[in-house]
Amino acid sequence: MTFKKRIITAIATGAVLVNAMAPLALADTSLTVSGNGAFSNNAVNVTNESNTVVNQTNNANITNNIKSDASTGGNSSNYNTGGNSTVNTGAASSNVNVTNAANLNEANVSCGCDNGATSVNVTGNGAYSDNGVGVTNANEVFLNQNNNANFNNNVTANSSTGKNDSSFNTGGSTVVNTGAASTNVGVNNTANANIATVGGPSDPSAGGSSVIISGNGAFSDNGVALANVSAVVLDQSNNADINNNIKANAKTGDNESQFNTGGNDVINTGDATNNVSVNNLANFNAADVNCDCTFAGLTAKVAGNGAESDNGIEADSASSLFPDQVNDAALWNSVDPNAKTGDNTLGFSTGSVYGDPAVVTGDSSSTTNANNAGNVNVLDNGNSVSLPGNWNVGVNFDLSGFLSFLGLA
């Protein structure tokens, strides 16, 4: 059989012509080569081509330099004579919340398959005729989603009710009472999500296709080449560089009561509490690809052709998927929390013979939570993709707050 080389050449030539004229998307293709005389040479080449190119790119550079100070301390009551010397401070509270959310790509792309029926009839052509039909349905989807995020959070939070001084007083009691000092820092970083849905129920396979070669004369050469080709190239990449430098201080200590004469000397400090919470959530790729542009049903028939005729049908159906999902995350958490109620000084005082100097400190508490979750790739073929928040991928990667922040949920 010699028709293969000829048909391939015809298809290539036809593709060049069709591309030069701009491709047409034909839902139904019906080709008939019939009733042509002896020794005729007949060729039909059709190319249906669909190309979809989607590029989505985000780049975010976010820097937060935050310094928060709350102080009711640093008070002095010194060198007093007569009566009581008292320092009472109120509470000091420093609250810092940093929320960064950036970079979301979401694409819903049709496969662009030629879903119509392809019908080819090569019938009733004369002896020694040379008949060829080439049909190519080519569908290509190129989807590129890329995110790059650089977050730098520099937070310094201080709360202090301490560092009070009541010294060199004469007469009465000397009392230093400090309020509570609390520092609360919350840093939430969410970055880089790619969600792609390519194809689905609206892109069924091509159905009802048929190829018939029949009733052609003796010594005729008849060939049909039919190809359905689908290719999806999916590239999802994320790069996240997140640096959190957090310094939190809560202080009620470092008080002094010295060199006092008369009465009792007392230092009472409040509680010092530090709460630091860091949550980093980065790099999520989810793709649902359901592009099957192959034949759902194909009828091929070669019948009733004359003596010494050369007849061939070549039908190729191929769907290819080239997924590439890449994540790169660098997460740096430097947390330095300090809670201090100590370092109080009470000395060199002369008080009542019935009283004792007293230093009473409050509780010192420091709590730090750092949660890092990143680098998740999900590839489903033929399954629906739910928006983040409903995913169960083994880690807590809930992007519902992220989507809400961007006004997309």
pLDDT in tens, the chain (409 residues): 222 222 222 222 222 222 222 223 335 778 888 888 899 898 888 887 878 888 888 888 888 888 888 888 787 878 878 778 888 888 888 888 888 888 888 888 877 665 567 888 999 899 999 999 988 888 888 889 898 889 889 988 888 888 888 888 887 788 888 888 888 998 888 888 888 888 765 545 556 688 898 988 899 999 999 888 888 888 989 898 989 998 888 888 788 888 878 778 888 888 888 888 888 888 888 888 877 777 767 788 888 888 988 989 888 888 888 888 888 888 888 888 887 777 777 777 776 655 556 665 666 666 667 666 666 677 765 444 443 433 333 333 455 555 555 454 5
Q: How far apart are CA 16 and CA 224, in angstroms?
A: 19
Q: Cβ(159)–Cβ(94) under 8 Å?
A: yes
**Across the chain, which distance is largest between two alpha carbons, in Å?**
136
**What are the tokens at 276?**
């630091």
CA-closest candidate to residue 108, choices 385, 391, 324, 398? 385
pTM: 0.73
Q: How far apart are CA 228 and CA 224, in angstroms?
A: 13
Q: Please state, in angstroms and as integers, the Cα–Cα distance from residue 333 to each residue in 189, 251, 290, following that order.
A: 12, 23, 40
Q: How far apart are CA 52 and CA 47, in angstroms?
A: 16
Percent helix, strand and coil across the chain, each rounded to 5?
5, 60, 35
Q: Cβ(25)–Cβ(244) under 8 Å?
A: no
**What are the tokens at 312?**
């061939």
Q: How far apart are CA 148 and CA 138, in angstroms?
A: 33
